[in-house]
Structure 1
């Protein structure tokens, strides 16, 4: 019996034993190895670089539906019937780059089908929100703000699911102060690869709790998370300062993250062109004063620090005085610092406005050969020099982010990986090379060349030269994954054997392959 026929049989069995019909199978995903315009979302992602056709899509109404599916697949009878080949991937917003949320010839679980289920609790000592794994962070923000609360740590883009970012790390400009999103979780509900529905925390089943956080979907599917909350500010004073020297730029970033009592957000980016200024935010009309500087010498590369100070509108705190105190310590170019006051919601939701602009220009649903790194402080200057060997500022479209995190804000019990080189460096830099391609000027071969350049850069920046670690990447082989995890590999593999012994979960990562993926195509 063919695998697709077996999956149809499984669908019928599940439909009989469940109060709801939640498997759709088979579905028409278009011809194999071809990417038609009508390709369904379960076959693709934001990267538009890999396309994996599932045999079925699960649209659960509850965590119990997911538990039932995985319990049946992990049973000895199912393993024998399917030859150990059926895999399952949880798909949230589909914002992965290399098909990490796809399940070629397997089953994709659409987490957005779960009720968002956002319950906010304000307490005298601790406030938190219990949130469904398929809820968007934008939805979490809207609900928590109703009580004057908000999560501590954010990603730049809010239309991502809670379960999705917690399966990676969830980083942004607040991570230097509060750690990544995985450092701000109090409790989880997880369905393991064996179909067990487990509530876990640092005190209750801690091995599963820490394994799942940053675990790339390998050990379980997050169906609920308890997120720590803090008081939300009313306004944000958002500033930009410009630099023509990289060391001064990074020096001031490190200065800012050393003042968490005053500074609430720090990021930075490379100013590659006038377009990168216009496209990065419409909240800064004053930045046009810097354009004349750019036009003087277009061969020069400039840098910009973004930082923000929260305004709680308390009488004892004067945000303008705080900004002045901070700026006096910085070494930016001349008078090139600009600031604006925006609402807290608009500040956190800033990338959504940029998304609307890119969609209007037809530049959102295009291939995104992104590359993200954690770079030890001791190697950031060399990494900057190496970057321009593989990236041409003249034709690059998209932001290049560079900003610091603090190693001690990350819990080493989680599965997330930091550089092992430069472990004495308290500061680790995020570098995000977030390229978009223009379908009018970049052919299929052009995209393949960019991916090849990415692989070459990743190899050159890794061990033994700089020791950078990829973030949100997909490595080409299990051996490369072992190198990626380094000293953490033994623990990672042990958790896999315990919580997903048949390697059902997360096939799109390519960490524990069960078989070849005959329906996966890549550019």
Structure 2
């Protein structure tokens, strides 16, 4: 019986591959009648960005990692030259990264959802960790780990993202200055390579694959499970916001806060373009705080806000107020412009969920999101701020603009993630090279303020900002990158390009995986394979 079921699944996968090949004669797998693991849906053709729409020829809903391995093994051994595969988690990509035009999209949420918490016992040297399947959402891991008083150390601002998805990019939030991104808080991975091999990897076991996949944009393998480092969870959080008029003082105080990791647990910030944007950025702050500062109504001034938090690990700890006051005494915010509230740890981490529900209520959640995320070295952050302000208009801008510092030393140089390169004449040892800012221009193209044609204009502005920031003196890099030419991708990876291309040739030699990124074109099995080929851009329809 088991062998018969296995043969049935093999035949189904083979059928799916044939339908996706250049010689397909049937429009959709549905022409054969319902299939249990393959169906074409509009879900796989779009993502949160709502900018690119690329339809796959088939959708695989695997029941186990073996299904994925079987598909990729067949594709890597076959002569079908056009079939590509993309893994889709929660679908929060922006520019079609999880799409597979005329290929196969694998829906990772169909895999069995498993979360196993392993807590070290008193006196043990072993670390606490969670073994989690790749399609599990971070909010699900948080809820489960809190039941035993544990939680991951590093987060994203929004928790309804898949674990495999964020680990393929980086995973950052206000804790990254202290603990690094999510990709540096992973102990082990189960990965299916482009050859179809299921590999368990870690820093000491198949380490090249381990580091390639982390921040690797899905190019080297599909994460089916991850071992996430855990620590004791706080009981509550003191959450504070302070306002500034001067950008230099704003960044100076942010850098002061990240220099105190023994006291401060979270640091972010945002630009307040006008009073309207202040209301928009206050949604996540508890409504009962009446958090609407009077910042000279009617003024055209731009303001800045620092948001930071201090965690309380003991339920009866009464020193939190003294710690917060000690921190505030060292800061130079606007007088009488400080707001503070105490919330549970879960509510603090899940703060963006409140904003999501409000936007859904208003019907402006499922709209285009022409976001731009940039890593900017400290030496260029003021110039980037000026560049940004030259290309946006407060009158028609909707959405937050995040800006906060990270520390380069918290990022592993072995992973595929890309930060701005250190200047060639740098001697190291800190200074401007050590601090890197993340700037998130999280704009929404709402129907009321963005008429037809407006979206293309916003994307052109993003490209203009990116080209000036990357190619000029700023020295910035994109986070969650989207590039349109092979030269731009080479420039993005810089000195790491050769390593990135060599890893691709080793783990996905036919370039089957992640076609939506547009980095490597699919290679025919009939073309001689070498490790020195020059990958070209795979153009998507735009």
TM above 0.5, yes or no, is: yes
Question: Could you tell me which residue of structure 2 aligns to residue 147 of structure 1?
Answer: 148
State which drifts further: 185-194 or 435-444.
435-444
The answer to whether the 8 Å contact 1:215/1:416 transfers is yes
Q: Using the TM superposition, give the Cα deviation of residue 395 of structure 1 relative to its aligned residue in structure 2, in angstroms.
A: 1.4
Distance 2:487 2:459 in 1: 20
- SS of alignment partner, residue 504 of structure 1: coil
For each residue in 1:419-477, what CA deviation from the matched residue of structure 2 results, as whole angstroms up to 9, or x when unmatched?
Answer: 01556511000000000011133133110010001001000001332110001121001
- SS of alignment partner, residue 187 of structure 1: strand
Distance 1:239 1:460 in 2: 34
The answer to whether the 8 Å contact 2:280/2:400 transfers is no
Question: Could you tell me which residue of structure 1 aligns to residue 460 of structure 2?
Answer: 452
State which drifts further: 472-481 or 251-260.
472-481
Question: Could you tell me which residue of structure 2 aligns to residue 216 of structure 1?
Answer: 217
Question: Could you tell me which residue of structure 2 aligns to residue 380 of structure 1?
Answer: 381
Question: Could you tell me which residue of structure 2 aligns to residue 232 of structure 1?
Answer: 233
- SS of alignment partner, residue 222 of structure 2: strand
Across the aligned residues of Structure 1 and Structure 2, the Cα RMSD in angstroms comes to: 2.3
Distance 1:365 1:64 in 2: 34
Question: Could you tell me which residue of structure 2 aligns to residue 493 of structure 1?
Answer: 501
Aligned in 2, Cα 1:379/1:517: closer, same or farther, shift over 3 Å? closer
Work out the number of aligned pairs and report it.
Answer: 497
Q: Using the TM superposition, give the Cα deviation of residue 312 of structure 1 relative to its aligned residue in structure 2, in angstroms.
A: 1.4
Residues 123-142 of structure 1: pairs in structure 2 closer than 5 A = 123=120, 124-125=124-125, 126-142=127-143
Q: Using the TM superposition, give the Cα deviation of residue 275 of structure 1 relative to its aligned residue in structure 2, in angstroms.
A: 3.0
The answer to whether the 8 Å contact 1:51/1:520 transfers is no
- SS of alignment partner, residue 295 of structure 1: coil
Residues 83-98 of structure 1: pairs in structure 2 closer than 5 A = 84-98=81-95
Aligned partner (choices 447, 454, 475) of residue 439 of structure 1:
447
Distance 2:137 2:224 in 1: 13
Q: TM-score, normalising length from structure 1?
A: 0.91
The answer to whether the 8 Å contact 2:484/2:539 transfers is no
Question: Could you tell me which residue of structure 1 aligns to residue 58 of structure 2?
Answer: 56
For each residue in 1:308-337, what CA deviation from the matched residue of structure 2 results, as whole angstroms up to 9, or x when unmatched?
Answer: 000112656611110010000000000211
Q: TM-score, normalising length from structure 2?
A: 0.88
The answer to whether the 8 Å contact 1:374/1:430 transfers is yes
- SS of alignment partner, residue 269 of structure 2: strand
Q: Using the TM superposition, give the Cα deviation of residue 2 of structure 1 relative to its aligned residue in structure 2, in angstroms.
A: 7.6
Q: Using the TM superposition, give the Cα deviation of residue 279 of structure 1 relative to its aligned residue in structure 2, in angstroms.
A: 2.8
Q: Using the TM superposition, give the Cα deviation of residue 8 of structure 1 relative to its aligned residue in structure 2, in angstroms.
A: 8.6
The answer to whether the 8 Å contact 1:22/1:58 transfers is no
Question: Could you tell me which residue of structure 1 aligns to residue 277 of structure 2?
Answer: 276
- SS of alignment partner, residue 412 of structure 2: coil
Q: Using the TM superposition, give the Cα deviation of residue 274 of structure 1 relative to its aligned residue in structure 2, in angstroms.
A: 2.6
State which drifts further: 283-292 or 404-413.
283-292
Q: Using the TM superposition, give the Cα deviation of residue 514 of structure 1 relative to its aligned residue in structure 2, in angstroms.
A: 2.5
Distance 2:342 2:20 in 1: 57
Aligned partner (choices 85, 90, 106) of residue 109 of structure 1:
106
The answer to whether the 8 Å contact 1:7/1:56 transfers is no
**Is 1:506 aligned with 2:514?**
yes
Q: Using the TM superposition, give the Cα deviation of residue 209 of structure 1 relative to its aligned residue in structure 2, in angstroms.
A: 0.1
Aligned in 2, Cα 1:214/1:282: closer, same or farther, shift over 3 Å? closer
Question: Could you tell me which residue of structure 2 aligns to residue 474 of structure 1?
Answer: 482
The answer to whether the 8 Å contact 1:167/1:214 transfers is yes
Q: Using the TM superposition, give the Cα deviation of residue 282 of structure 1 relative to its aligned residue in structure 2, in angstroms.
A: 4.7
Q: Using the TM superposition, give the Cα deviation of residue 5 of structure 1 relative to its aligned residue in structure 2, in angstroms.
A: 7.7
Question: Could you tell me which residue of structure 2 aligns to residue 416 of structure 1?
Answer: 417
Distance 2:284 2:19 in 1: 54
- SS of alignment partner, residue 291 of structure 1: coil
Q: Using the TM superposition, give the Cα deviation of residue 357 of structure 1 relative to its aligned residue in structure 2, in angstroms.
A: 0.4
Q: Using the TM superposition, give the Cα deviation of residue 518 of structure 1 relative to its aligned residue in structure 2, in angstroms.
A: 11
For each residue in 1:347-383, what CA deviation from the matched residue of structure 2 results, as whole angstroms up to 9, or x when unmatched?
Answer: 0000011000011111111110000000000000111
The answer to whether the 8 Å contact 1:104/1:517 transfers is no
Distance 2:214 2:92 in 1: 18
State which drifts further: 414-423 or 321-330.
414-423
The answer to whether the 8 Å contact 1:421/1:467 transfers is no
